Amino acid sequence: MNPLNPKKLLLTKWTAVKPIAKQKHFLVSRVIQPEQPTDPIQDVEIEAVFSKAVQVIAWRELQNDSVWRRGWV
């Protein structure tokens, strides 16, 4: 997988390899900015496409190929 840039994750589409609470397709709805502008970005907010449920995860979790796939598969 190509390296991810946390600043460019907004509105990207992701598919969970194993469905999470019967949800499979997600969209990065928000990149959570740190309190200090010089600190690196740590978290993103993902939204389930079907139920609109929102959860916060570390953006680096999206790099794990055994959990997430880029795009809607």
User: For 10-51, how does the pLDDT look when each residue is reduced to its tens digit (9 = 90+)?
Assistant: 999 999 999 988 999 999 999 999 999 899 999 999 999 999
List the 54-58 sheet strands across, edge first: 54-58, 43-48, 23-32, 13-20, 68-70
Domain that holds residue 20: 1-29
Residue whose tokens read 């496409």: 49
Domain assignment present for residue 36? The answer is no
Domain assignment present for residue 15? The answer is yes
Domain assignment present for residue 12? The answer is yes
Number of domains in the chain: 1
Domain assignment present for residue 54? The answer is no
**pLDDT(1) > 70:** no
Domain assignment present for residue 68? The answer is no
Domain assignment present for residue 72? The answer is no
Q: Tell me whether residue 44 is exposed, middle or buried, using C-beta atoms within 10 angstroms of its C-beta: 0 to 12, 13 to 18, 19 or more.
A: buried
Domain assignment present for residue 65? The answer is no
Q: What pLDDT, on a 0 to 100 scale, did the predictor assign at position 62?
A: 95
Domain assignment present for residue 40? The answer is no
pTM of the model: 0.89
